[in-house]
Amino acid sequence: MDDLFVKLTTRMILPFIQLYGVYVILHGHLSPGGGFSGGAIYAASIVLYTLAFGLEKGKERMPHEISSKIETGGILVYVLVGLSGIFLGYTFLTNIEAGFPIGTFGKVLSAGLIPVVTFAIGLKVMSTIVTLFHTMLEEES
């Protein structure tokens, strides 16, 4: 799509969408939202970028190699965090009982491994949506 207004508006609005997505992911244990919705918001910004600037530039911004690595890394972090519960002598994905710091109630750094897990889910959802969109666009062209 070769439109000046669309490109200009996208360039202006992009950092705010991405900041909001990161905010929703990082505050998943404090406010409504979480990994799934925050990752979808962040992915929406990259989908918007691809729609406005074309597939070539979108792939420069988020190459397939990197997005597939992020996707695998997200699920890997999740499983490793879960396995740490087993190594500490508890069941899979044990949170506070296994000795993860509970932190101050209501602060970002609290609730043990919930923020870590939410961040991993957010990375995974983001890269999945972006990869799906780029793959489908590739098939069309």
Encoded tokens for 6: 């669309």
Check residue 64 for interaction with other proteins (CB under 8 A): yes
- Residue 32's alpha-carbon distances to 74, 81, 123, 135, in angstroms, are 21, 23, 18, 31
Min dist CB 15 to other proteins, Å, is 26
Pick one of 75, 76, 83, 86: the residue that binds other proteins (CB under 8 A).
Answer: 75
How far apart are CB 10 and other proteins at their closest, in Å?
25
Question: Which listed residue (29, 45, 50, 58) binds other proteins by CB under 8 A?
Answer: 29
Q: Is 25 in the site for other proteins (CB under 8 A)?
A: no
Alpha-carbon distance of 76 to 47, in angstroms, equals: 25
The answer to whether 102 contacts other proteins (rule: CB under 8 A) is yes
Candidate residues 21, 34, 38, 58; the one interacting with other proteins per rule CB under 8 A: 34
Q: Which contacts qualify for 111-117: CB closer than 8 Å, 24 or more apart?
A: 111/29, 113/81, 114/28, 114/29, 115/26, 115/28, 115/29, 116/77, 116/81, 117/35, 117/78, 117/81, 117/93
Q: Is residue 137 a contact point for other proteins (CB under 8 A)?
A: no
Residue 17 CA, distance from chain mean position: 13
Instruction: Point out which residues bind other proteins (CB under 8 A).
Output: 28-32, 34-35, 64-65, 71, 74-75, 78-79, 82, 92-93, 95-96, 102-103, 105-106, 110-114, 117-118, 121, 124-125, 128, 131-132, 135-136, 138-139
